[in-house]
Structure 1
Amino acid sequence: MMSRRVVRQSKFRHVFGQPLKADQSYEDIRVSKVTWDSSFCAVNPKFVAIIVESSGGGAILALPLCKTGRVDKNYPLIIGHSGPVLDVDWCPHNDNILASGSEDCSVMVWQIPDHTPLRPISEPIVTLEGHSKRVGIVTWHPTARNVLLTAGSDNVIIIWNVGTGEPLVSLDNHPDLIYNVSWNRNGSMFCTTCKDKKVRVVDPRKGEIVAEKQTPHEGIRPMRAIFTREGYVFTTGFTRMSQRELGLWDPTNFDEPISLLEMDTSNGVLLPFYDADTSIVYLCGKGDSSIRYFEITDEPPYVHYLSTYSSKEPQRGMGFMPKRGLDVSKCEIARLYKLHERKCEPITMTVPRKSDLFQDDLYPDTAGPEPALEVEEWVEGRDGDPVLVSLRDGYVPLKNRELKVVKKNVLDSRPPPRRSISSCDGSFTQQVTLEKLLDEIQSLKATVQTQEKRICDLENKLSKFTNGTA
C-alpha cells in the first residue's frame, strides 16, 4: 500500500512576511560598515536604534518609531564613543534606556528622551569600564532590573549593576573570542559560542561552566546559540563543506543533537531571532536577501521549516521587535527591521485570519516591562520568570522613567579616564538642569500650540454663531 504523506498541523503553517509601504521605512540612513557580526539594530515599542557611520568615532541613531520617511541629515545622533559602535541593546524594563558597546573598550548606557533632542546626545548616564579590548556584545538580563552583560575581545564576560556602575561578576573562562551570548528565559544561566568551536552553558553566579559541547558544527565560520523557552539550545553554524547548519540540543545531554539540519551554501553568518511565545525562530543571514523561519516543537523532526520571506536587497543587519510592540489587530506575530545600505525597512510576519476578534492562541500573555527581581535578589541566588502582560487591548508604552545611577566616591577607586556622572566640577549638574529646562520648554510649546488650536476652533464656532444670529 502507498503511504499518504500527512501534512503537519500548525497554526503557523501559512505565516507570511510582507514589507511595510515605502513611506513606513526609515530612509537616508548611513548604516555602519564595520565588519562585525552583530545585528547593528535594536528595536522596542518606542524606538529603533541603528549603528551608523560617523566621523570621529562611533554613532547611534535612535529614532521614535513614528519618525518614518526620510531622516533629516542633521537629526541628533548619540555620539559618546571614541571608536566605532559594535553592538546595541534596549533595556527590557525601560524603553528609554539603551546600552552600547564599542571598539574604544567601553560600554555606555544612555537615557533617550521621548521628544526629539535639540542637539546630539554625548553624555551617557553611566560609563562602564572594565574591558581591555573592544566590546562586541551587550545584552540585558531578561528579568532582573539594571543587570547588563558585556563581552569583549579580551575573552572576558562582565555582568554589571548599571544602577551603581559596578561589576557584579567577571568571567574569564573562555580561551578565545566569544561570538555570542544568550540568556535563558529567567536569566539563571546563559549560553555562549566561542572561536574554539565550543558551545558552553554558564551559571554566572557560581562562575561555572555547567555544560559544554565540542564542535556542534564542524565548520570554522562563526556560530550562534540561543536558549529556547524549554531550556534547549538552538545553534546555527557551518559544516566542514561550508554549508549552513541548524542544531537543537539538550544541555543536560550534549552528546547527540535533538535535531540537525543542513540548509544551504553561503558565507553569511545566520542571526537567529527567537519568539518564546510562538516557539518560532527567524534566521537572517548577513548579506542574504531572505529570512527563513522555523517552528520548534516537541515532535520529530523538532525543528520544522515553515517558509521563507525573500526580497531583492541583501540585509546589512536586523532588529527584532518585542511582542508588546506588535499590532495584534492585524494578527502580526513578529516584526523585523531590515537594514539596507541606506535605509531601514520594517517587515511584518502575519498569520492570515478572517476574524477581527483578538486571537488568544496567537497571543498568550507575554513578557512585560516590569522586572521580576532587583539586582540584589538576583545576586543572592533568586530566579524569577518574566512578569507577563496581556495583549488583549494592545500595549501602550510607559512614559519615560529616569534611570538613577548611584556611584561611590571616585576617590575610593581609580580615577575614570573620561568625565562620567560622578565628576565633581558641577558641570554635569548644570547639564542635567539644562536638559530638564529644555524638556519643560518643549512641553510648554506643545501646550501653547494645543491651546492656540482650541482658541482658534472656539473663535470659529463663535463667529459662525454670531453671524447666524445676526
Structure 2
Amino acid sequence: MSGKFVRASKYRHVFGQAAKKELQYENVKVTNNAWDSNLIKTNGKFLAVNWNASGGGAFAVIPLNEVGKSPDQVPLFRGHTAQVLDTDFDPFNDRRLASGSDDSKIGIWDIPENYSFHNALDENDEISHVKPTRMLSGHSRKVGHVLFHPLAQNVLASSSLDYTVKLWDVESGENKLTLKHPDMVTSMSFSYDGNYLATVARDKKLRVWDIRANKIVCEGQAHSGAKNQRVVWLGNSDRIATTGFSKLSDRQIGIWDAFNLEKGDLGGFYTVDQSSGILMPFYDDSNKILYLAGKGDGNIRYYELQNDELFELSEYQSTEPQRGFAVAPKRTVNIKENEVVKGFKTVVDQYIEPVSFYVPRRSEEFQEDIYPDAPSDKPALSSEEWFSGKSVDGPILVSMRKLYEGADPTFHESKKAVHLSAKTVDPTPKSKEPTPSVNSETTAKKHVEPVKSQVEKKSFDFEPPKISLKENFKSDLSVNKMLQKSSDFDSENNTEDPSRDTSGWDEEDETPKEPEVLPMAKAQSKLEKEETIPRTSKSVNEAQEHVSEATNPSSEIQKSANVATSSVAEAEDPENKSSRAVEVSKATTTTVPPSAGTASTSSNTGKSLGLKQSVEKLSSLVQSLEQVVNTLIASNLEKDDRLQNLESKIGELIQQK
C-alpha cells in the first residue's frame, strides 16, 4: 500500500485567528525596557501592560471590554521609583495583581470597583492614578519576575538579581521562604499541586525545588546556549518543558522528567529554527497543547504533547512581530465557538491584538472532549495552610459544561494524575529535525502498536483451532499458505501477530498471473484473501458459494474428462456423494491436449482406472477441506465479534479522556 500515515488527532486542524481591528487595543505605549519578561498579563477580565512612562515606573490596566483607541491621558498604576519589569494577576482575586520593579520592591495593587481606562477623568478633568495597597521589601536588587501560587491564596513568588527566589505571604507582607541560586533566575513555574517549583538560571541549570523543605529535589544541565531560557510545568503531570538555545544559537525545546533531570531531556532537544528571539511557552493542560510565541517574530507555533513527544500541529503566522504575549485562563474562553485559547500579543509596541485559537467543529452541542473541567478562581488552600505544610492534589476545578449552559458553576477538587515512568534515554542529547514529522510511519508504529497489543491481549484471549490435514494434501502450496495464515497467532500471548497482517493485500497481487488457473486454486485464493482481512465479516453461505464455485469446472476441463465421468459413475455408489467427487475430479484434472481425443480405447480405459483411484482419494480430501473451511469461517466470525468488542472499548476509552 502506498501513501503516508497521518497521525490521528482531533487538534490537527486547530487554527489561530486575530481579532478585527475594531476589537483591538490601540494607542498603547508598551515599555521599551529590554528586560526579558512577557510585558503583558491577563486574567480574562483585565489586561496589564508595562507602560512606557516617565517619572518612575508604571503600568496600565485595561478592562478587556474597553476596546478601541486609548485616550491621550490614561490612569496608571504608579508607586515604583524605577521601571516595572513584570506583573501577575492573583488567580483568586480578579482585582488584585502584583508587580516587580527595578527598585527591588514588589507592589501589591487592588483595582478600584469603579475603575475605567477610557473614562478616568474626575470632576476637575484630572487623571487619578492608582496607588499600591502595600510594598514588599526584602530583595537587595531588581525584582525581575513575580508569580502567584496556583492553589494557595495570597502566596507570591518573586525572583531577583540577588540570585534568590522568595515566597511571600501577601496578606501579612512577610517573606516566608528564600530559595538561593548560584545565578540569576530567568524563569520559574509551579507544579500542578503547588508543592514544587521549577527554575532555570543564567548558569544554564534546570532545578526542581521542594519549596517548603527549601531543598533541591534534582537538577540538570539545560540548554547550552548563552541566551535566557524559559520553563513551564506541563499541567497535571511530572513533565516540564524548557525553551532555549544551542551553542549554534538554534532555538530548542526540551521535555524533561521533573524528578529525573540528571538523565537529561527525554529523547533529545527539538530544534525549532535559527531565529534569535526567545520562545515564550504557554501550556494548555486541558488539550495537552504547548504554544510557543517568539519574541521579535510574528509566528506562534503549537505542538501536541503525547507520550513525552511533541507533534507539531500548525503555526499561526503574522507579518507583525510581538515582544509580549499573554494567555487568559481556560475558564474565560468562548466555549460556544470552540475557542480553546485566548491570547493577546503586542504589535510594534503601539497596540495589542487579541489572537484566539479554535477547534473547527460545527456541532451545536457542548464539546465534552475538548473542554474538561478547568482550574477555577476558588483557592484550594489558604496561605497559612500551605506554609504550614498542608497539600492537595491540585486546584479547585470548575465545570466547563455549566459555564456553557449558563447555569450556576459547580466546583470539585482535583485528582492526582498517575505519574509517568521515566524513559530510559541516552544521556547524550540528540538533535532532532526542525519539526517532528506527523506523517512518519515509524512514529505511527511507535504510538499505535503498544496500545494495540495491550488491547488485543485483553480482547483476543482465545486459543485458535489446530488444523491437521493429510500429508499428500499439505503438498499443495496454496493450501499450505492458507494454513499458515490461519495459524499466524502468537503462541505466547494468544494474539494475532500484527506484523504479519497484510491489510487486505496479497503477494499474488504483485506477481504476474499464470496462463491457466484451476478453479480450485481460485477458490483457495479467495479464501486466503478473506482470512487476511480481519475486519470483514463473511457468512457461511458466502463461503459455501466459493466452494461450489471451486467445484464447477470450466467447459474445456469438462470436455477433457467425459470418458472418466462414465466409468466413475458406474463404480461409485450414488448415495456416497459420487457427483461431488466426479466434479472435483474434473476440477483437479489437468487440461488434456486436443490430440488426446484420438487416443486408443485401451489408453482411455487406463486413464479411467487411474481417475477412479484419484477420485476416491480426492473425495476424502474434499471432506477434509470442507472441515478446514468451516473451521476458518467459525474462527473468522469469532474474530469479528471480538473486534467489535475492541472497537466499543476503544470508543469508551476515548470518551473517558
TMscore range, shorter length: 0.7 to 0.9
Aligned mates of 2:69, 2:275 — CA distance in 1: 33
Pairing 1:9-408 to 2, within 5 Å after superposition: 9-116=8-115, 118=120, 119-172=127-180, 174-214=181-221, 216-229=222-235, 230-254=237-261, 255-259=263-267, 260-298=269-307, 302-340=309-347, 341-384=349-392, 385-394=394-403
Structure with the largest fraction of strand: 1
Q: Deviations over 1:267-299 (max 9, x none)?
A: 101110111111111101111111000111126
Measured after TM superposition, the shift of residue 209 of structure 1 is 0.7
Q: Deviations over 1:333-383 (max 9, x none)?
A: 001100112000000000000112111111100000000001111112122
Measured after TM superposition, the shift of residue 251 of structure 1 is 2.3
Name the SS of the counterpart of 1:193 in structure 2: strand
**Does the CA contact (< 8 Å) of 1:78 and 1:120 recur in 2?**
no
Q: Equivalent residue for 2:594?
A: none
**Does the CA contact (< 8 Å) of 2:230 and 2:281 recur in 1?**
yes
Name the SS of the counterpart of 2:78 in structure 1: coil
Name the SS of the counterpart of 2:186 in structure 1: strand
Matched letter for residue 240 of structure 2:
V
Matched letter for residue 177 of structure 2:
V
**Does the CA contact (< 8 Å) of 1:180 and 1:224 recur in 2?**
yes
Structure 1 portions without partners, runs of 5+: 399-470
Aligned mates of 2:152, 2:141 — CA distance in 1: 27
**Does the CA contact (< 8 Å) of 1:92 and 1:369 recur in 2?**
yes
Measured after TM superposition, the shift of residue 3 of structure 1 is 6.7
Q: How many residues of Structure 1 are paired with residues of Structure 2 in the alignment?
A: 393
Q: Deviations over 1:216-274 (max 9, x none)?
A: 21111111111112121101111111000101011222213224210100110111011
Q: Equivalent residue for 1:438?
A: none
Measured after TM superposition, the shift of residue 192 of structure 1 is 0.4
Matched letter for residue 97 of structure 1:
R
Instruction: Please tell me whether Structure 1 or Structure 2 has the larger radius of gyration of its CA atoms.
Output: 2
Farther off after superposition, 155-164 or 385-394:
385-394
Aligned mates of 1:155, 1:293 — CA distance in 2: 32
Name the SS of the counterpart of 1:394 in structure 2: helix
Name the SS of the counterpart of 1:187 in structure 2: coil
Farther off after superposition, 339-348 or 247-256:
247-256
**Does the CA contact (< 8 Å) of 1:137 and 1:150 recur in 2?**
yes
State TM-score, norm by structure 1: 0.81
**Does the CA contact (< 8 Å) of 1:205 and 1:379 recur in 2?**
yes
Matched letter for residue 92 of structure 2:
H
Q: Deviations over 1:186-211 (max 9, x none)?
A: 11001001000100001111110111
**Does the CA contact (< 8 Å) of 1:327 and 1:394 recur in 2?**
no
State TM-score, norm by structure 2: 0.58
Matched letter for residue 208 of structure 1:
K
Aligned mates of 1:27, 1:333 — CA distance in 2: 25
**Does the CA contact (< 8 Å) of 1:47 and 1:62 recur in 2?**
yes
Matched letter for residue 400 of structure 2:
L
Go from structure 1 to structure 2 and tell me whether the alpha carbon gap of 1:12 and 1:114 turns closer, same or farther (over 3 Å shift): farther
Aligned mates of 1:248, 1:152 — CA distance in 2: 26
Name the SS of the counterpart of 2:381 in structure 1: coil
Aligned mates of 2:328, 2:369 — CA distance in 1: 19
Aligned mates of 1:352, 1:130 — CA distance in 2: 49
Aligned mates of 2:400, 2:44 — CA distance in 1: 13
Aligned mates of 2:110, 2:240 — CA distance in 1: 33
Name the SS of the counterpart of 1:378 in structure 2: helix
**Does the CA contact (< 8 Å) of 2:75 and 2:130 recur in 1?**
no
Farther off after superposition, 379-388 or 84-93:
379-388
**Does the CA contact (< 8 Å) of 1:80 and 1:121 recur in 2?**
no
Go from structure 1 to structure 2 and tell me whether the alpha carbon gap of 1:27 and 1:191 turns closer, same or farther (over 3 Å shift): same
Matched letter for residue 10 of structure 1:
S
Aligned mates of 1:23, 1:70 — CA distance in 2: 9
Aligned mates of 2:313, 2:400 — CA distance in 1: 25
Measured after TM superposition, the shift of residue 45 of structure 1 is 2.1
**Does the CA contact (< 8 Å) of 1:202 and 1:208 recur in 2?**
yes
Q: Deviations over 1:45-75 (max 9, x none)?
A: 2111111100111111101110000011212
Matched letter for residue 228 of structure 1:
L
Identity, % of aligned positions? 41
Measured after TM superposition, the shift of residue 88 of structure 1 is 0.5
Aligned mates of 2:396, 2:283 — CA distance in 1: 18
Aligned mates of 1:64, 1:198 — CA distance in 2: 38
Measured after TM superposition, the shift of residue 9 of structure 1 is 1.0
**Does the CA contact (< 8 Å) of 2:208 and 2:259 recur in 1?**
no
Measured after TM superposition, the shift of residue 4 of structure 1 is 4.4
Structure 2 portions without partners, runs of 5+: 121-126, 409-657
**Does the CA contact (< 8 Å) of 1:152 and 1:178 recur in 2?**
yes
**Does the CA contact (< 8 Å) of 1:64 and 1:114 recur in 2?**
no
Measured after TM superposition, the shift of residue 162 of structure 1 is 0.4
RMSD of aligned C-alpha atoms?
1.6
Aligned mates of 1:120, 1:99 — CA distance in 2: 20
Q: Equivalent residue for 2:579?
A: none
